[in-house]
Homo-oligomer: A and B are copies of this chain.
Amino acid sequence: VLCESPTYLGAVNAMRAYGVAFVDVTTDDDGMLPDDLAKKLASCRRPKVIYVIPDFQNPAGRCWSTERRVALLEVAARHDVVVLEDCPYRDLRFEGEQRPSLKSLDKREQVVFLGTFSKIFCPGLRLGWVAAPQALLDKYVLVKQGVDLHTSSLNQMVLASYLEHHDIDANVAALRTLYRARRDAMVSALEAAKIEGAHFTRPAGGLFSWLELPERINARDLLVECLERNLAFVPGGAFFPNGGHENTVRLNFSNMPEERIKEGVRRLAEAIRSMSSSKRHP
C-alpha cells in the first residue's frame, strides 16, 4: 500500500492486519509528489493500492491541489493499481472552492471512493458508503460479509428516516460554521502562544491542525507532560507507518468550545516550555 506521509492511523491499523507493507510517498501541502509516487510504484514489488485522503486529511489537515489530483491519476493509470480515496471531511470546508474528488476525475475505473456519515451526522451509527467499479463492488460485498455479516439494519433505518424527514445539508452547514470558529480559535491561540521553532497548519476544512515542533521534542513525552495538565492529543508519530517524525502533534479543534481550545493551547505551550527548559538545564 502506497500512502501519504503522514497518513490515517485507523486505515493503517485496519490494513496491517492483512500483512500489508506500507510505502510512504513524499507529501507536501498540495498532496503526494507525483515523481516520488512514480518512483516508488516502479520499485514496489506488488503495489496493490494507493491510499489517500485528499480533502483535509486526518492527521495533517491538508487539501490536495487539483493539479496533484490529476497527476496522481495519471501516474496510477500507468500501473495496475487501485486508488482508495478516503473522504470523510470533504463536506467540512470552511472557505474556498471545492476541488474535484478523485472519483469525479476517474476515467479508467481505478478509484474506490469511501464516504461516511460519521463526520456529517453521527459517528455512533457506523455508517458509510462506497462508490467503486461494479467488479470491485461485487468483491467488496463478499469480503465485507466475511468481516461483519452485515451493517446494522436498525442504524440504516434511523439514517434513512433522518435523510427523508430532515435536512442534512443544514446540519453540515451548521457544523461548518461551528468548526470554522473553532479552527480560528485554535490558530489564533497557536499564534499567540509563540512556541519557539514550531510550525502549524491553518486548514481550510476538516477537524485537525498539524503541529511540528523542534526535533528535540518527542511528542510522546510531551503527551505525558500534558496529561498531567489534563490535556490530551494524538502524537503525530503514530501516523507514520514506518516510524519517525516523533516531533509532530495532531491537534483536534472540532470537539471543544473556543474557550477550552484557548486554554488547551495555553497549557500545551506551557508543557512545551517546561520540557524545553528541563532539557536545557537538566
Contacts and interface: CB of A to CB of B under 8 A. Distances in A.
Which of A19, A124, A151 has the largest number of chain B CB atoms within 10 A?
A124
B18 A146 contact: no
Given A14-B147, A17-B143, 15 more contacts: A10-B149, A16-B146, A18-B18, A19-B19, A122-B154, A123-B153, A124-B154, A125-B154, A126-B148, A126-B151, A147-B147, A148-B148, A152-B155, A154-B158, A155-B155
Nearest to A12: B146
Number of copies: 2
Contacts of A177: none
A168 B236 CA distance: 45
A145 interface: yes
A16 to B, nearest CB: 7
A125 B19 CA distance: 30
Which of A13, A18, A150, A154 has the largest number of chain B CB atoms within 10 A?
A154
Contacts of A154: 122, 124-125, 155, 158
Interface string A9-36: 0100110111100000000000000000
A153 B127 CA distance: 12
Interface of A: 10, 13-14, 16-19, 122-126, 143, 145-155, 158
Which of A13, A146, A150 has the largest number of chain B CB atoms within 10 A?
A146
B149 A152 contact: no
Contacts of A146: 10, 13-14, 16-17
Contacts of A152: 124-126, 152, 155
A17 B14 contact: no
A145 B13 contact: yes
A188 B19 CA distance: 50
Nearest to A124: B153
8 contacts: A10-B149, A17-B147, A18-B18, A147-B147, A148-B148, A152-B155, A154-B158, A155-B155
A122 B145 CA distance: 18
Contacts of A126: 148-152
Contacts of A10: 146, 149
Contacts of A14: 146-147
Contacts of A13: 145-146
Nearest to A156: B124
